[in-house]
Structure formats: C-alpha cells, structure tokens
Amino acid sequence: MLRKMKVMMVTDSLQVGGAEQVAVDIANSLDRDTHQVYFCATRTDGLLRSSLKSDVEIMVLERSATWDLLKLLAFGKYVRSEGIDVLHSHGRGTMRFIALCKALGIIQAQHVFHDHFGRLHLDRSAGPGMKVPLHHGVDAYIGVESRLCRWAIDTVGLPEAKVSLVRSGVDLERFSTAPAINLRDEFDLGEGNLVLLMVANFRPQKDHPTLFRAIAELAPAQQESIRLVVCGSTTADPAYFQGCMAMLERLKIDHLVRTIGVRNDAPSLMAGADAGVFSSKNESGPLVILEYKASRLPVVATETGEIAHAVKDEGVGILTEPRDYLALADGLAALLNMTAEERAAMGERGRQLVIEEFEQQVVVRQVEAIYDHLLGLSSQSSDSGKSNLANG
Amino acid sequence: MTTEQATTPRTRYPRAQCEVSVALCTLNGSQWIEELLQSIAAQELLPDEIVIQDDCSEDDTVELIEKFADQAPFAIRLEVNQFRLGSTANFATALARCHGRFIALADQDDVWYPIKLRRLIDELELDPTVTMVFSDADLIGPDGQDLGQRLWDARLIGRTLRKRAVVPEELFARRALTTGCTMAVRRRAVAASLPFPEALENEAAPMRHDRWLSLVAASVGTVRALPESLLGFRVHPDQETGVLVGAQLTHALGRAASAVFIAPVGQSNESHLARANQLEAAAERANEMGDFEEALTLEAIAAHHRSRVQTSGSVLDRLRSIAEGVRVGAYGWDRLGMVAVAGDTVRSVRPGRGAQSEPAVHSAPALQGEPAPENQIEGS
C-alpha cells in the first residue's frame, strides 16, 4: 500500500485573515485517505489554530525576520525529518521564505505557491525579488483570481503549465453547524433593527470609511433602522482604526456601530445577522462574501475580486463600485426596502450558488490534482484550473 | 494650521447624470478653439457634454463656440464669467458644473487625437480604484507642426513618470507632474477636490488646478500615468500655461537653480508656508474620505515645509534641522530634493544674502515655488 502524501500548509500566521482561512480550509478538507496534513505558521500563532482539525500537525516557527537563518534551518530539518512531499505556501513573504529554503538546498519538497495578493492594481511590477523566487523556488503557482494568473504568465514569465486558477471555496460544514449568536442581545442593539455584519480586519484595504459614509448618506429614518456590527482586528493598523473611529463620531453615526474586535466564531455571528456587508476597495477573493452566502445572508458589497465578479449577475447580492459611498448607500437603501421574505430568498439563492460552484470540496479536488501532477501521480494537470484561466 | 475644519461639511457635489464630461476653460482663444472643438467632435468615444467656462474673452471665442454648438454631436454648456476669475478658479467653476461620471480637462489651444478620450476612459473603467489617468502629449507649434518633442520630456518628468505605472500622492506633493489637458478624472476625486481651497491662490507659491486635482486624486485613490501621446500640445507665445523649449528652457533652468541659492529668506519662507497650507488642505480632504495613511503622508511633507521656514535659531540649529530632514528622507531622494538641500544649506549659512538680489529673483522661475509660465520645473 502506498504511503499517504504529506502536505504542509505554510502561512505567516494563524491569525484570522482571508488567506489564512483558505489555508485552514484546504488543510481541513484534503482527503484523509490519501493525505497527511501539516500546518506551519512561520511567524505567529493565532485564533485559527482552534479551527484546524485535530489530526493536523501544527508547528509555529516564530521567525522574527524574513531571512531568519536559524528558523530557516529548523524548518528545513523538520520538513526533511517528516518527509513532507508538498509545501503549500500562502502569502508572498512566506513564498520567498520557502523558495530560499529550496534554493539553499535545505528542502527538496515540491513547492506550491497560493497567491492571494490583493494590491495588484497598485503594484503590477515584478522585480528580481519576485521573479527569482517564483522562477527558481516555486513548482506550481495558484492564483485566486484570473488577473493574478495573467500577471504570473505575462509579467513574471511563468510557463502557463505552472499556473492554475483556483477560486477560493468555503467549507459549508462550518456554516451548517454553527449555532447562531443573538447579536441584538450580545451587543445591546435593541429590537426591531436590521443587523448588518461586516467581517473585515481594520486595514485600509477593507475601506470601512466608505461603508460609514454610505450609512451617513441614508435618510435619518433608514439610518435608525439599522445597526452595524464590525468584526475584525482593531490592532492590525491602529492609526487606521483610530481614523475610522474618529470618522464615525464626525459623521454622527457612532451609536449605530459596534466594533467587536477579532473573533473565531464568525459563522455563529453570521448566523445571527440579518445581512452581510463588505466595502473593500480591492480584493482578490474575497472569501467573506462566500461565507455570508454560505450563511444565507443577503449581501451588499463592493464589486471587487474574482468571487464578486463571478456572482454579480446571479441575483444573490447587491454589488456596487468600490469606494463609491453614494452607490453603496443606494445598495443599502435597496436592501432596507426589500421585504424580509425577499431578503431571505436572496440569502437562499446565495447558499445554493455556493453549493453549486464554491463548495470547498470542489476547490480542494483542484488543489489535490495539482499536488498529484507535481509528484507524478497523475499525467494530467489541474484541467479545471486551466480551463477557468482560459475563460477568465 | 489647515484651511478647512473637518467638522464643516463641504457643499455636496451632485451625483453623476451622464458618463463623460469635458471641462474646458477659455480666454481669448479664437485662434485655436475651433480646431480643438473639431478634434473633440472627432473622438472615437464622444463625450456627453462639454462644459465651457469662458473667462471674459475679448475676442470672438464665445461666438465661435456658439457657432460650433449648433452642429455639435453632444451638449455644449457654455457659461461666461461676469468678471475674470483666473485659470485655477475658472477650472474650479467648470468642474463644479460637470455632470459626468468621468471628467476630462481640456485647454483651448490643443488638438486631441481621436483615441484620446477612449483610451483615458477605458483605463478608468478598468479599475474603479483609479481616480485619475493622465497621458503624455506631442508638442506642436503655433501652426500645428510637430516639434519632435514630448511634453513629459520637455517638462523634465519623463524619466520619473515612465518608470511608474502608479504615481503616489507623495510625488505630487513634491512636484507638479500633470498637465490638465492630458487628464481624465473620476467624479468622486473631483468631488473631493471641490471647492478649491483659497490656499491655492497664494502668490508666494500658487498651486494650479491640475496639480491640486492630481494631489487629491492620488490621496483618495490611484493615479495612473500613461506614457502614450494622446494629443498635440500647442506651444505658442500667448499661452497662459505651457512649456519652454530649447534655449528658453535652458535659460529658465539656470535662473531657477540660482534662485534656490539666492532667494531672499522671507520669500522662501512664504513659499514654504503656502505649500504647507496647500498640502494640509489636501490631507484634510483625504482624511474626510477615509484615506488616513495618505493624509498622514501629506501632513508629514507639510510639516517639513514648516520646518524649513527659517525664523530663528543658530546656524548650527538650522543645519541640524536640514541634516535631520535628509536623514528621514523628507527632501525626497531625487535631484530636486538634493538641490533643495543645497539651497536650504546655503540660506542657513548666509540667511541675509538673498535680500540684496531680490529684483533678479522675482523674474526667475523658482524651484521652491511655482514659476510662470507653467510649473515645469517647480519642485519641493
């Protein structure tokens, strides 16, 4: 009997974030009959540790710098001693770390890089610091959106055979079994209001101010009929967070908003909300839209990223142009004007769409096919990924 | 000190009512205006409207526009000012009247290539975070002949712009890099820029409408530079804003460089204070839109301008302050930054010298302020 393929997910940290959640979801959903799963956070531990299945071997490297030689050696030693076959990195810093390990001959495992880069609109360049590790330290490139895949081929110059588009998926089980939290009681929101939930760390990319300004644009009666709960790290960028809080006061809507910090029970929060909102200015995913839909929430969000583009014509949410607070205000007003039945129907359509197109098992089979191809276990590459890329 | 208080809401800029507006300011432009309007009418992508603000022309510019309006394939919305506003305020007025989701700026004496609007608008459509796109241009003579030179090169900014797809607010804070007639702006960036703050019109260091728009657009979004030539930019003696070529440029550069070293301290101080006020006004707009990081960047550059104001302290203190500015990169690391360091150093050591040569300085474009004509060599 053949031994199981040993796969290690590698991220910067186990703190809550889109890329980290994707890594955790893949780690949890790889086929256990054929895979043994490891997870390495090269810098810090975090709340997502508790989301990993109990059979996942976890290590936290606590490297202090990008090129922390001692940790590099310790990592290599562990990978060799465990006989890891595939290292699956998430995030560009982590990719460089592993590429360096490969370049130094510390490890020989196949390296799959999963690119979630969300600032391609600002930085389409690919200097030597990006090209060299991608060419010489990465065996397969996965982009979560077609723009990234095109960048990898056209700008970086990777051969098409190395590049696959794999959209993020969502583990429906997490959302089917999560008990609902009564947000009105938990956060003292009062009865009768529509509770909107935004799950996004306080980082500039998430563009909370556009949502705040949109709420401020609503008619006073509409404003008073909603409460917004914002779940996400408030310490990731303290200056940004403080700016957001000052803005809430300036707009005189601070009484409508609760910031609850980072949580590891997002599915339960979503189960207790009436609608999901998301105002990011630029995303490659964004995974949270799928999570809202998996939770049967009607959604008002900015149209950014592969997922938003993929679902925009499906009638499962109201999508508006990023950074346009007037358009987002119109979207919120449209949501408020819907009946409860209409909102529920929108949520149900969203859930159905996730089942059909974004279920985690669909995604993980694509990833497994890439592993198999790298290790010569399959003659075919990730055909689904390739065809998606061609269509994208 | 800022020119506006965050708690004072600005007048609401109305929502877009059409796709593409062109904002055109005119003043005694009868010689060129027909050619410009015809070139706009020949665009592959036609605008929905041209909003024209005439600044009390004394020739037949208005009549020519009205004649064109009769057969124009789009709306012409002409307004004639009751008294002369000047270029910057006139553009502010025109921009405030535009209805478009995207607004392209036009100068009365240029010739647009047919692809210009489509190329700029496509780039804005491609990425909703892009708030402004601007291009290069070919320099043409009064009779329309190609002068064989590009606008960016003539303004000595070609190298800076060609190596960057995205131009950050920090660069616009340090230097004027855009020319209005080459740009198209997303409505929300125009909304954030209006009304123009009074600080722009400070005589010590005026900031023109195009630099202000660029500064705000980069602070509340992304500004892209397209290294393509999309229009003919006419160089002629009557232009209010333009570029210098050949010997004129060499001479002006020499005068500007010497002005850095011999400018009277009082004049230099006024320039720095004016620039600080303008940057703080832009930071205020960025803050208002939730672009806190960009606001902090602008505030830091504004603070550096204030720190360069030489009011008191020993020579050693002033030199120490300059050294600290260099250490933290406050001057920037390009050639203009280095010239500014040298100029500040000279003035620190000999603060009174420039006062004796004041008349000579007043006729020279200054690296510390905005020269006329055009701001082609204006610096930090």
Residue A358 has pLDDT above 90, yes or no: no
Angstrom distance (rounded) from CA A135 to CA A157: 8
pLDDT at A256 over 80: yes
Instruction: Please answer yes or no on whether A121 and B293 come within 8 Å at the CB atom.
Output: no
Are residues A243 and B292, on separate chains, in Cβ contact within 8 Å? yes
A 10 A CB-CB count for B153 gives 14
User: Hey, is the C-beta of A203 within 8 angstroms of any chain B C-beta?
Assistant: no
Cα distances from A49 to residues A44, A200, B203, B309, in angstroms, run: 11, 19, 61, 54
Q: Given an 8 Å threshold on Cβ–Cβ distance, is B129 in contact with A323?
A: yes
Domain residue extents for chain A: 5-169+359-391, 172-357
All domains of chain B in start order, with CATH: 18-244 (3.90.550.10), 249-362 (no CATH)
How far is Cα B300 from Cα B330, in angstroms, rounded to an integer? 8
Question: Does residue B34 register a pLDDT over 50?
Answer: yes
Residue A56 sits at the vertex; the CA angle it makes with A53 and A60, to the nearest 5 degrees, is: 115
Contact between chains at B128 and A204 (C-beta distance less than 8 A): no
CA distance A150 to A390: 10
Query: How far A281 CA sits from the closest chain B CA (Å)?
Result: 7
Q: How many CB atoms lie within 10 A of CB A320?
A: 23
Enter the CATH code of domain A172-357. Answer: 3.40.50.2000
Confidence label for B248 from pLDDT (cuts 50, 70 and 90): low
Q: How many Cβ atoms from other residues are within 10 Å of residue B48's Cβ?
A: 18
Which of A247, A304, A321 shows the shortest C-beta gap to B290? A247
Strands B183-186 and B146-150: unpaired
CA-based nearest residue to A114, from A133, A92, A85: A92
Q: Is the pLDDT at A169 greater than 90, yes or no?
A: no
The tokens describing A275, both together, are 């609608």
CA B271 to chain centre: 16
Give the tokens for residue B254: 């020499």
State how far the Cα of B185 lies from the Cα of B232, in Å rounded to an integer. Answer: 20
Report the side by side order of strands in the sheet with A194-199.
A257-261, A226-231, A194-199, A275-278, A299-302, A318-320
Least confident of A42-46, A122-126, A293-297, B376-380: B376-380
Specify the pLDDT at position B124.
Answer: 95
A172-357 and A5-169+359-391 share a CATH fold: yes
Average pLDDT across chain B, whole number: 84
Give B165's contacts in chain A (Cβ within 8 Å). 124-125
Per-residue model confidence (pLDDT) at position A235: 92
Beta bridge partners of A118: none
Chain A nearest-CA residue for B8:
A250
Helix (H, G, I), strand (E, B) or coil at B133: strand
Chain B positions touching A303 (Cβ under 8 A) are: 128
Architecture of the domain made up of A5-169+359-391: 3-Layer(aba) Sandwich (3.40)
The yes-or-no verdict on residue A121 having pLDDT over 70 is: no
Best mutation target among A326, A328, A330 (most B Cβ atoms within 10 Å) is: A326
Burial class (CB in 10 A: 0-12, 13-18, 19+), B195: middle
Burial class (CB in 10 A: 0-12, 13-18, 19+), B271: buried
Q: Of B197, B157, B195, B151, whose CA–CA distance to B174 is shortest? A: B157
pLDDT tier at B164 (50, 70, 90 boundaries)? Answer: confident
CB contact under 8 A, A122 and B166: yes
Rounded Cα–Cα distance for residues B134 and B123 (Å): 10
Confidence tier at B364 by pLDDT (50, 70, 90) = very low
A209 with B293: Cβ contact below 8 A: no
Contact (CB, 8 A) for A371 and A380: no
Kindly tell me the burial class for residue B123, based on how many C-beta atoms sit within 10 Å of its own C-beta (0-12, 13-18, 19 or more): middle
Say which residue, A169 or A81, is predicted with more confidence. A81
Percent of chain A at pLDDT above 70?
Answer: 93
Instruction: Confirm if A194 and A274 have CB atoms less than 8 A apart.
Output: yes
pLDDT at position A223: 94
The whole-angstrom separation of Cα B132 and Cα B224 is 6
A122–B188: do the CB atoms touch at under 8 Å?
A: no
3-state helix, strand, coil in chain B (%, to 5): 45, 15, 35
Taking a C-beta distance cutoff of 8 angstroms, is the pair A225, A299 a contact? no
Which percentage of chain A shows pLDDT scores above 90? 65
> DSSP readout, B241-303?
S----HHHHHHHHHHHHHHHHHS-HHHHHHHHHHHHHHHHHHHHHHHHTT-HHHHHHHHHHHH
| CA gyration radius, chain A | 21
pLDDT at residue B377 greater than cutoff 60: no
Q: Residue B289 is nearest to which of A209, A240, A321, comparing CB atoms?
A: A209
Summarize the confidence of residues A230-245 as an average pLDDT. Answer: 94
Dist. CA A22–CA A17, nearest whole Å:
9
- Exposure of B329 in the CB half-sphere (CA atoms within 13 A): 5
Instruction: State whether A121 and B127 contact (CB < 8 Å).
Output: yes
pLDDT tens-digit readout, A198-226: 999 999 989 999 999 999 999 999 999 99
pLDDT at B149 over 90: yes
Total CB pairs under 8 A between chain A and B: 48
**Are B290 and A212 in contact (CB < 8 Å)?**
yes
- Residues B179 and B137: their CA atoms lie apart, in Å, by 10
Alpha-carbon gap: B291 to the closest alpha carbon of chain A (Å)? 8
Q: What pLDDT score was predicted for residue A370?
A: 96
Interface predicted TM-score (ipTM): 0.79
A326 touching B, CB under 8 A? Answer: yes
Q: Reading across the β-sheet that carries A163-165, which strands appear in turn?
A: A57-60, A35-44, A5-13, A86-90, A110-115, A140-143, A163-165
Q: Is the omega angle on the peptide bond into residue A209 within 30 degrees of 0, that is, cis?
A: no
Q: Go through A131-170 and write b for each residue having 16 or more CB atoms within 10 A of its CB, e for each that does not.
A: eebbeebbbbbbbbbbbbbbbbbeebebeeebbbbbbbbb
Q: Å from B166 to nearest chain A CA?
A: 6
Helix/strand/coil for A5: strand
- Name the token pair of A381: 């590459």
Nearest-angstrom CA–CA distance, B51 and B78: 6
- Nearest by CB: A121 against B129, B291, B292: B129
- Could you say which DSSP state residue B142 is in? T
Using alpha carbons, list the distances in angstroms from residue A194 to A181, A229, A372: 15, 11, 47
Highest mean pLDDT among B169-183, B230-244, B316-330, B336-350: B169-183
Higher pLDDT, B255 or B364: B255
**How large is the average pLDDT for residues B48-62?**
97
Residue B2, pLDDT > 60, answer no
User: B157 versus B344: which is more confidently predicted?
Assistant: B157
Chain A residues touching B128 at Cβ < 8 A: 303-304, 321-324
The residue that leads in pLDDT, A364 or A382, is A364
Strand, helix or coil at A195? Answer: strand
